[in-house]
Structure formats: C-alpha cells, structure tokens
Amino acid sequence: MTRMLIIGPPGSGKGTQAARISERLGVVAISTGDIFRENVKNETPLGVEAKKYMDAGDFVPDSVTNSMVRARLAEEDVQDGFLLDGYPRTAAQVTELDDILRENDSTLDVVLQLTADDEELVRRLLGRARLDGRTDDNEVVIRHRLDLYHEQTEAVVSQYESRGIVTRVDGIGAIDEVTERVMSALKVTR
C-alpha cells in the first residue's frame, strides 16, 4: 500500500507523472482540480460553494477544499493507497490531511517533490501556452504562479522534510526519463 503526495512547480510534469506513478503502483491518483471539477459538475453543495470562488478567479477556501478532500479520501478506491496531486498547498492543509489520515489509522509514506529550474519552467510553459493557444499564460502570469508555488510550498515541504519522507526528483527531461528517475527514487522495480 502506498499513500503519497506529488508536489512540484507549475510545468514540472506533476499531472503526467502522477498518472504514470498511479498506473505503476496500482493506486488511484487524486487531483484536487479533478475533485473541484467533479463537485461543480455534479452541483454538490461543496461544488456550488467552490464555483463561486472559482468563477471570481479566487482560491477556493481551505474549509471547502478540506471538506472535498476529506470526502474523496473516504471513498472505497483509496483503501489500497493513493497519490494526491495539488493538496496540501498550505501548512493548514497539512494539519487537516494529518487529521484525515489519523482518523483512518494511516499516515503518508512519501512526498515526491519534482524539482526544476524556474527559467526552464518559464520556457516550457510559454511553449505549451503557444501550442495550446492560451493567451492567459504569459511570462508575467507564469512567473507569478511560480512565485506563489515557492511561497506556499516551502512551508509544506519543510513540514514533511522534518518527518523524513520527502524524496526529490529532477522533473526536467524526457517524460520516460523522469518516470524512470521517479521509480528509481521510490525504489519501485515493476
């Protein structure tokens, strides 16, 4: 059984690697973005609440995010492990996740941090924006997102570092190369 988080800056390949890790380890990948979209689509009470913030371009408050993650981690398919992508993002969310796991008599096994040079990420994200025709992803916006990542994630990573469960992997390179580095770091031979 594996219970893990994947953390990394925008453009580091978290989503791609989360899908590959999930498949290799046989655990469900849980993206908070997917949880938000599912709740909004199904017009759940939490989805209706989250949509108000999302439509305004604001962050969904911790209370709503925590409730959605709590509900998702209570589902049957996570009993054999999970990979969380996009949560926790703040120190307060770390505390909430600890409470959720404690209630289920479990703990995290590993926090995988994909690392990458900011300048390389800016190049990568600008290229992706051009390919996808995303005019909202310009250099100023991308650098702001990277700054937010560094500000918010430092506290989260340091909390898990103090527990000795952080594994860092270079997220730059061909997708298959990064996957193999991840599997090697996680000591997975499958």
Residue 164 counted as an annotated binding residue: no
* Catalytic, out of 24, 128, 143, 168: 128
Residue 24 counted as an annotated binding residue: no
* Catalytic, out of 14, 20, 72, 124: 14
Residue 11 counted as an annotated binding residue: yes
* 181 catalytic residue (yes or no): no
Give the amino acid at 108: L
Residue 8 counted as an annotated binding residue: no
* Contact between residue 85 and residue 30 where contact means Cβ atoms under 8 Å apart: yes
**Separation between Cα atoms, residue 177 and residue 135, nearest integer Å:** 30
* 70 catalytic residue (yes or no): no
* 41 catalytic residue (yes or no): no
Residue with tokens 């289920």: 104
**Separation between Cα atoms, residue 174 and residue 75, nearest integer Å:** 34
* Contact between residue 126 and residue 10 where contact means Cβ atoms under 8 Å apart: no
Residue 37 counted as an annotated binding residue: yes
Single out the residue of 56, 57, 36 nearest to residue 47, CA to CA: 36
Residue 3 counted as an annotated binding residue: no
Residue 52 counted as an annotated binding residue: no
* 51 catalytic residue (yes or no): no
Residue 2 counted as an annotated binding residue: no
End-to-end CA distance of the chain: 14
* Catalytic, out of 3, 72, 89, 124: 89
* Catalytic, out of 52, 102, 130, 134: 134
Q: How far is CA 154 from CA 74, 142, 171, in A?
A: 28, 18, 17
Residue 28 counted as an annotated binding residue: no
* 3 catalytic residue (yes or no): no
Detail the residues annotated as belonging to a binding site. 11-16, 32, 37, 58-60, 86-89, 93, 128, 134, 145, 173
Binding residues for ATP: 11-16, 128, 173
Annotated binding-site members for AMP:
32, 37, 58-60, 86-89, 93, 134, 145
Catalytic residues: 14, 89, 128, 134, 145
